[in-house]
Amino acid sequence: MQSPMAQNQVKRCVVLLADGARADVFSDLLSKGKLPEIQRWLAREGIHNAGVTSFPSTTGPGYLPFLTGSFPGTCNVPGIRWFDKAKFENRGLSFDRYRSYVGPESFFMGRDMSSHIRTIFELVPESYSIFNPIARGATGFRNRTRYSRIWYWYYAHLTDRWNLPDEAALTKTLQVLKKGCRFVFAVFPGIDEYSHLTHPHHEAVISRYVWLDEAVGIIARFLEKQGDWKSTQFWLVSDHGLSKTDRHFCVNTFLEKHDLPPFFYPLIFDKKGKRSANMVSGNGMTHIYFKNHDGWMRHTFRGELDRMAPNLLNDFLCEEAVDIIACRNSEGGVDVISRRGEASIRLNGHNVHYEVRGRDPFGYPALPKDLNPQKSLEATIDSEYPDAPFQLAHLFTASRTGDVLLSAKPGYDLRLKYEDPEHKASHGSLHKSHMMVPILCNMPFGKRPARTVDVFPTILKSLGIPIPSYIDGVLL
């Protein structure tokens, strides 16, 4: 049977990003009939897939695949927080030495991306951004929340009324559609924020899924009434999942006890005597950077770190909160260590070379040593760590990625101090509860395993826009 909407009939694309929505929660609610509008308009006719997001699985970096077709590592935006060792060493007046996108610095996310990367707003005329911090190219009124976004977030943070930006996102999406557009990207933050305040299965969180279902119905009916539904490619996606957090582990205190005093947010004016930097993302992962005998000018590799702090990595593994350790090696790759085993990873062109030493650190069954991107995804998507070798290999191509990276065990996070209010759920890690997200569309595509980075080229192809050659995504 022919699709009710052939690709050459697509006049516009609408992407609703349900920040923090878990794939398994979506599936469960759909199966119980609690999301009837999504079932009617998206899941029935189109795809209802659980795809893999990018690592780190955090707000902000998790938007990049949809907006650029590239991974955070390719964009050189490796987390919510990062540290540029070489620029920090120079001690000039550069504003690009370190970053936290939690707050006003979120305005710099698009500016901080690799200069050759182009956003979808730069490629698609008549494209609009709503509550999205990475709006480079959405000039003037095309960025509908350029200044109001931070005030909505600040007010909701103080009052816990995250329904207000959700409702505003719906209103602004309808306004853009009435005006006419070719592409709109709208962020709905409620699921993520209420998950942090409670946990991913709390009734307050489930009520946001139900409200989002109603919002999908309102938008779809508006488009149908206008005669535009069949010419609109409609997506409902997410940037990361979450897991309930019961215990917090303070990486800063750990580093201090190992005579490696860290530089970290929010105490960024205290720079004296620092031998490390700790940059947490989503609380479920962190980048750690080390000063070596050359200062901060270059990366510190595993062998050198073992000489500087002989027991550091083993002591990290003794902490229950630490699940996976990844560190740069002197061969240009990444060593991955867990209590299960150890492996090395490196990119070989577009493919991943994955070599296990003894037992597999992720608990995978035996894998081929060389995997192309699709085979890597297919071989790991049903595991506890979907797509982990491929994601790590790409993240460590970024100059701003840490010397060592920690991924937390579910139930734990990596930040104890300066979290107000206390997070009851975390994300950012390599675990499936953080990495698996819903990808729904009213246009049917193949059922192969997908990454969120694949949505970008699929949208451009549908709109008849040339696809950049440098991107990481492939057509669905």
The mean pLDDT value of the chain amounts to 94
* Per-residue model confidence (pLDDT) at position 91: 67
- Asked if 380 and 388 touch (Cβ cutoff 8 Å), the reply is yes
Per-residue confidence band for 244, with pLDDT thresholds at 50, 70 and 90: very high
Encoding tokens for residue 15?
Answer: 């992407």
284 and 380 inside one domain: yes
Q: Are residues 409 and 439 in the same domain?
A: no
Task: Specify whether 176 is located in the same domain as 295.
Answer: no
- Asked if residues 276 and 255 have their Cβ atoms less than 8 Å apart, the reply is yes
What pLDDT sits at residue 1? 31
Instruction: Report if residue 97 sits inside a domain.
Output: no
| Residue 141, phi then psi, degrees to nearest 5 | -75, -5
Contact predicate 385/432, CB 8 Å: yes
% of the chain exceeding 70 in pLDDT: 97
214 and 319 in a single domain? The answer is no
Report pLDDT for 463.
Answer: 96
* Span 289-293, average pLDDT: 96
Residue 83 lies in a domain: no
Same domain, 225 and 296: no
Residue 132 lies in a domain: yes
Encode burial over 204-232: b for 16+ CB neighbours within 10 A, e otherwise.
bbbebbebbbebbbebbeebeeeeebeeb
Averaged pLDDT for residues 143-151? 93
Q: Could you give the C-alpha distances from 214 to 22, 95, 135, 259, in angstroms and in order? A: 18, 43, 26, 54
State yes or no: pLDDT of 23 exceeds 60: yes
pLDDT digits (tens, 9 = 90+) for 182-236: 999 999 999 999 999 999 999 999 999 999 999 999 999 999 999 999 999 999 9
pLDDT number for residue 425: 94
pLDDT given at position 46: 58
Q: What is the CATH number of the domain that holds 192?
A: 3.40.720.10
pLDDT at 6: 47
Q: Which amino acid is at 276?
A: S
* Residue 401 in domain: yes
The SS3 assignment for 293 reads: coil
* Res 448: pLDDT: 86
Burial label for 378, CB within 10 Å (0-12, 13-18, 19+), is middle
Residue 103: its pLDDT value, please? 85
Q: Which residues contact 300 (CB under 8 A, 6 or more apart)?
A: 289, 290, 291, 292, 308, 328, 403
Q: pLDDT grade, residue 418 (50/70/90)?
A: confident
Please determine, for residue 59, whether its predicted confidence score (pLDDT) is greater than 50: yes
Tell whether the model's pLDDT for residue 300 goes beyond 50.
yes
| 260 lies in the same domain as 121 | no
> Looking at the domain assignment, is residue 95 inside a domain?
no
Whether 257 and 179 share a structural domain:
no
pLDDT at residue 8 greater than cutoff 60? no
* 313 and 391 together in one domain: yes
pLDDT of 251 reads 97
- 324: in domain: yes
Largest CA distance in the chain: 68
Question: Taking 60 as the threshold, does the pLDDT of residue 155 lie above it?
Answer: yes
* pLDDT of residue 2 exceeding 50: no
Q: How far apart are CA 253 and CA 372, in angstroms?
A: 40
Higher pLDDT, 447 or 410: 410
pTM of the predicted structure, to 2 decimals = 0.95
Q: Where are the alpha helices (DSSP H) in 32-70?
A: 36-38, 64-68
Tens of pLDDT, residue by residue over 337-393, are 999 999 999 999 889 999 999 999 999 999 999 999 999 999 999 999 999 999 999
> What range defines the domain where residue 333 resides?
247-425
In a domain, 91, yes or no: no
Q: Which residues lie across from 353 on neighbouring strands?
A: 346, 370
pLDDT interval class at 43 (50, 70, 90): confident
pLDDT given at position 7: 45
Question: d(Cα 21, Cα 89) in Å, to the nearest integer?
Answer: 39
pLDDT of residue 48: 62
pLDDT band, very low/low/confident/very high, at 174 (cuts 50, 70, 90): very high
Tell me: do 417 and 390 sit in the same domain: yes
Residue labelled with tokens 């009124």: 141
265-289 mean pLDDT: 95
Tell me the C-alpha distance between 455 and 233, whole Å. Answer: 11
Q: Would you call the peptide bond into 421 cis, given omega within 30 degrees of 0 as the criterion?
A: yes
Q: How confident is the model at residue 50 (pLDDT cuts 50, 70, 90)?
A: confident
Our measurement of the distance from residue 299's CA atom to the centroid of its chain's CA atoms, rounded to an integer in Å, reads 24
Both 278 and 131 in a single domain? no
Percent of the chain, pLDDT > 90?
Answer: 88
Q: What residues pair up with 413 in beta bridges, in sequence order? A: 248
Confidence band (pLDDT; 50, 70, 90) for 4?
A: very low
Residue 446: other Cβ atoms inside 10 A: 10
pLDDT at 45: 59
Confidence of residue 92 (pLDDT cuts 50, 70, 90): low
Strand partners, 185: 15, 129
Residue 93 pLDDT grade (very low, low, confident, very high; cuts 50, 70, 90): low
Q: What angle do CA 430, 433, 437 make, to 5 degrees?
A: 95
Domain count, the chain: 2
- Do 419 and 435 fall into the same domain? no
- If asked whether residues 219 and 264 sit together in one domain, one would say no
In a domain, 382, yes or no: yes
The yes-or-no verdict on residue 253 having pLDDT over 50 is yes
Q: What gap in Å lies between CA 47 and CA 444, rounded to an integer?
A: 5
What's the distance, CA 130 to chain centroid?
Answer: 18
